[in-house]
Amino acid sequence: MSQHLDALNHRFGVSGQVKFKPGPGGMDAVEVTNEHASATILLQGAHLIDWTPKGEKPVIWTSPEAKFAPGKSVRGGVPVCWPWFGPHPTYADFPAHGFARTVPWEPIAVKALPEGTWLAFRLIPTDATRTMWPHATELVLQMVIGKTLDLDLATWNRGNTSITIGDALHTYFAVGDVRFAKIHGLHMVEYLDKVDGGARKVQLGPVIIDREVDRIYLDTPDTCVIEDTRFARRIRISKQNSHSTVVWNPWLAKAAAMGDLGPDGYLHMVCVESANAADDVVTLAPGGEHHLWVRYQLEPI
Ligand X SMILES: O=P(O)(O)OC[C@H]1O[C@@H](O)[C@H](O)[C@@H](O)[C@@H]1O
Q: How far is the CB of 86 from ligand X (least distance, A)?
A: 6
Please identify which residue in 53, 273, 282, 294 interacts with ligand X, judged by CB under 6 A.
273
Residues 127, 138: Cα–Cα separation, whole Å:
15
Helix ranges (DSSP H) in the chain: 3-12, 127-132, 251-258
Distances in whole angstroms, Cα of residue 187 to Cα of each of 111, 129, 174, 198, 263: 39, 39, 22, 19, 32
Single out the residue of 214, 222, 227, 280 in contact with ligand X (rule: CB under 6 A).
Answer: 214
Say how many residues touch ligand X, by CB under 6 A.
Answer: 9
CB 78, min distance to ligand X, A:
12
Nearer to ligand X, 96 or 128 (CB): 96
- Of the residues 88, 97, 268, 273, which is catalytic? 273
Provide the residue count of the chain.
Answer: 301
Residue 253 DSSP label: H
Q: Which amino acid is at 1?
A: M
Per CB under 6 A, 97 contacts ligand X: yes
Nearer to ligand X, 110 or 189 (CB): 189
Q: Of 35-94, which residues contact ligand X (CB under 6 A)? A: 73
For ligand X, the binding residue among 18, 163, 246, 261 (CB under 6 A) is: 246
Contact predicate 165/83, CB 8 Å: yes
Q: Which of 170, 212, 227, 289 is catalytic?
A: 170
Q: How far is the CB of 261 from ligand X (least distance, A)?
A: 10
Q: 121 or 248, CB closer to ligand X?
A: 248
Query: Exactly one of 88, 170, 233, 234 binds ligand X (CB under 6 A); which one?
Result: 170
Rounded to whole angstroms, what are the CA distances from 204 to 189, 224, 239, 298?
8, 14, 22, 25
How far apart CA 222 and CA 173 sit, in angstroms, is 18
What 3-state class would DSSP assign to 163? strand
* Least CB distance to ligand X at residue 251 (A): 11
Identify the sign of the CA torsion 182, 184, 190, 192: negative
Query: Binding mask 183-212 vs ligand X (x if CB under 6 A, - otherwise)?
Result: -----------x------------------
Among 1, 7, 69, 96, binds ligand X (CB under 6 A): 96
Query: Cα(14)–Cα(59) distance, rounded to whole angstroms?
Result: 24
Known active-site residue 170: yes
Question: What are the backbone dihedrals phi and psi of residue 168, each rounded to the nearest 5 degrees, phi first?
Answer: -165, 145
Please say which residue, 87 or 286, places its beta carbon nearer to ligand X.
87
65 given a catalytic annotation:
no
Between 205 and 259, name the residue whose CB sits nearer to ligand X. Answer: 259
Residue 138 near residue 118 (C-beta atoms within 8 A): no
Nearest approach in angstroms of CB 207 to ligand X is: 14
CB atoms within 10 A of CB 5: 18
- Smallest separation (angstroms) from ligand X to the CB of 57: 23
**Closest by Cα among 242, 234, 121 to 170:** 242
Between CA 140 and CA 159 the distance in angstroms is 16
- Which residue number, 18 or 278, has a Cβ lying nearer to ligand X? 278
Catalytic residues: 170, 273
Q: Which residues bind ligand X (CB under 6 A)?
A: 73, 96-97, 170, 194, 214, 246, 248, 273
